[in-house]
Amino acid sequence: MRTTVAFKTLFAIAIGASLFSCNNSRDYKNNSRATGWDINSKDGGFQYKTDYKEQETGPGLVFVEGGTFTMGRVQDDVMHDWNNTPTQQHVQSFYMDETEVTNIMYMEYLDWLKNVFPPSEPNYKNIYSGAVPDTLVWRNRLGFNETMVNNYLRHPAYSNYPVVGVNWMQATEFSKWRTNRVNELKLEKEGYSKEGARYTDVSAGTTFDTETYLNAPTKTYGGNDSITRGGKNADKLGTAKDTSNAKNIYIQRKDGVLLPEYRLPTEAEWEYAALGLVGIRDYNVYRGRKKYPWDGQYTRSGDAKRQGDQLANFKQGEGDYGGIAGWSDDGADITAEVKSYQANDYGLYDMAGNVAEWVADVYRPIVDDEFNDFNYYRGNVYTKNAINDDGTVQIVTPEGVVYDTLSSGRIMARALPGEIAQVPINEKDTYLRTNFNESDNRNFRDGDKSSTRYYEPFNEISNPSKRMYNSPQFSTDTDSTGNVKPNYDETSRTTMVSDEVRVYKGGSWRDRAYWLDPSQRRYFPQDMATDYIGFRNAMSRVGSKSKDKNKTARN
């Protein structure tokens, strides 16, 4: 009898210990560290992706592990710009395009716009035209460049050459489009949306936008649920058999399926990636003494097999854009096909030469490392989703597209149909915040009222000519027929620096070797384009700094 009681007692203890051990497992893989409840239980409850491994590398990108570096130039500043004083900065890990965005990549974007928003329809006529690069940038009053004007963008001979004639705003819009197309395809491949819908079911009123899908999935594709619920795996997202329960049939951010946005890299990211310090263990290089994206102090290769070959596409001298044909030639007179030169240690091509590249930052003569030295970026304009009276997000409709008129009079769409309309944050949103207090932070600590020598705490600056940056002020008028007429600023100005000029980095086919140094920085109006500035995209990394989660510090 005692044996039976003892056995039952031990059995009960064992069962209890088993349950306790299960619910308090140190890895907490299938149960909550907070409550001990099961996660992703078939009986209901909290659903969360627990087998997430790491961020997938998006199309065209390579991984750049973040770290600290000396941003700026430590060599003599022969141009006396004094705008790249060395500072120590730290950037998080990110991804970057291995090459510049090419003509064929940009043509895919233009083709999509033309098919979805036909320019023949009045509502959309400025969507396509506003995205087309300015091919007239090739013209020179004393040069014959009509071949490039007519062929460079569209001819297949130039398909893998970097796109130029694209202003900063166009590059930003391309980045948004690319994000949506990549995530649209991911949903289809994973079986969560209708197969082939991106070709057969898309129109001006039924487009896919990533943020719309995450915030208001029922309004994606114009509210056509047969597309968003038409995938083979749509019924596997949740436990409820009733697929009308929207929270169980749409991918959410916590599922880890959709990629972060494609965007322009920050200036700090671009310079860090261009230097390619990952392949070098040298104190002087770490402190900022690496001159180019490759090793050494010269533009020619010292490798035995390639000795004397130029390592980048740049202007070698007055009237010398490529060297002597067949002998000392760098292989290009204008731009060169991408991957024509060796990649740096991150696997990035043409981080010096070929074309200079737009970065995200608004230009200022200094990098304000006293205020921030982590993921430095000047250009933050914080917005929020526009909300309708009924509490739903406001979606841009085909009839409600809002356009911006550039200083040149050119018209560009601010947001495409299907996107969520954005509005600036207000005082209510920033109440009692200590880290930011307004929407537009482009001129924070440099160029705003409080940083001008005329600033008086209780008075406004009545004379606009006393702004810190006395840049031209352009405006436009529209006549009764809808034609836009630019009003040019004819006032004497002393600078082009304003909140509407952006940094561009790297030398180009038009530049001498001096500008190949990644620390060099120049600026250009964000709504203007040239024949020597292109761009490439970046993407933030979420999660661990390194792809090797077991990586330890090395001596």
Q: What is the pLDDT of residues 49-58, one digit of tens each?
A: 888 889 999 9
The answer to whether 186 touches 256, Cβ cutoff 8 Å, is no
CA–CA dist 96, 538 (Å, integer):
4
Find the range with the poorest average confidence among 79-93, 259-273, 358-372: 79-93
The residues that bridge with 182 in the sheet, in sequence order, are: none
The DSSP secondary-structure symbol of 3 reads H
Find the range with the poorest average confidence among 46-50, 221-225, 374-378, 436-440: 46-50
Q: Summarize pLDDT for 369-418 with one digit per residue, the tens.
A: 999 999 999 999 999 999 999 999 999 999 989 888 888 888 999 899 99
In the predicted model, what is the mean pLDDT of residues 295-314? 72
pLDDT given for residue 483 in this prediction: 73
Structure tokens at 551: 């990586």
pLDDT tops 90 at residue 17: no
pLDDT tops 50 at residue 18: no
pLDDT given for residue 21 in this prediction: 45
Q: Is residue 186 within a helix (H) or strand (E), and if so which, with residue range?
A: helix 168-189
pLDDT given for residue 229 in this prediction: 84
Q: Is residue 485 within a helix (H) or strand (E), and if so which, with residue range?
A: strand 484-487
Following CA atoms 149, 155, 158, 161 in sequence, which dihedral angle do they give, to the nearest 10 degrees? 70
Structure tokens at 308: 């004397």
- 442: phi > 0 → left, psi -120 to 50 → alpha, else beta; which? alpha
How confident is residue 25, by pLDDT bands cut at 50, 70 and 90?
Answer: very low
How confident is residue 290, by pLDDT bands cut at 50, 70 and 90?
Answer: confident
How confident is residue 41, by pLDDT bands cut at 50, 70 and 90?
Answer: confident
**Tokens 């600290």 -> residue:** 68
For residue 33, which phi and psi values (nearest 5 degrees)?
-70, -25
pLDDT tops 70 at residue 120: yes
How confident is residue 176, by pLDDT bands cut at 50, 70 and 90?
Answer: very high
pLDDT given for residue 154 in this prediction: 96
Number of Cβ within 10 Å of residue 196's Cβ equals 11
The residues that bridge with 38 in the sheet, in sequence order, are: 31
Find the range with the poorest average confidence among 169-173, 285-289, 495-499: 285-289
pLDDT given for residue 312 in this prediction: 87
Note the pTM of the prediction, 2 decimals: 0.89
pLDDT given for residue 310 in this prediction: 77
- DSSP strand pairing (383-385 vs 422-424): antiparallel
C-alpha distances out from residue 305 to 119, 219, 239, 297, 309, Å: 52, 58, 62, 19, 9
CA–CA dist 555, 548 (Å, integer):
17
CA–CA dist 263, 72 (Å, integer):
23
Q: Which residue has the higher pLDDT, 445 or 109?
A: 109
In the predicted model, what is the mean pLDDT of residues 165-180? 98
Which has the closest alpha carbon to 414: 162, 130, 145? 130
Following CA atoms 49, 55, 60, 62 in sequence, which dihedral angle do they give, to the nearest 10 degrees? -170
Which has the closest alpha carbon to 418: 112, 109, 210? 210
| Domains in the chain, CATH or no CATH each | 53-193+226-381+503-547 (3.90.1580.10)
CA–CA dist 100, 414 (Å, integer):
24
pLDDT given for residue 436 in this prediction: 93
How confident is residue 462, by pLDDT bands cut at 50, 70 and 90?
Answer: low
pLDDT given for residue 239 in this prediction: 34
In the predicted model, what is the mean pLDDT of residues 273-302? 70
The mean pLDDT of the chain is: 85
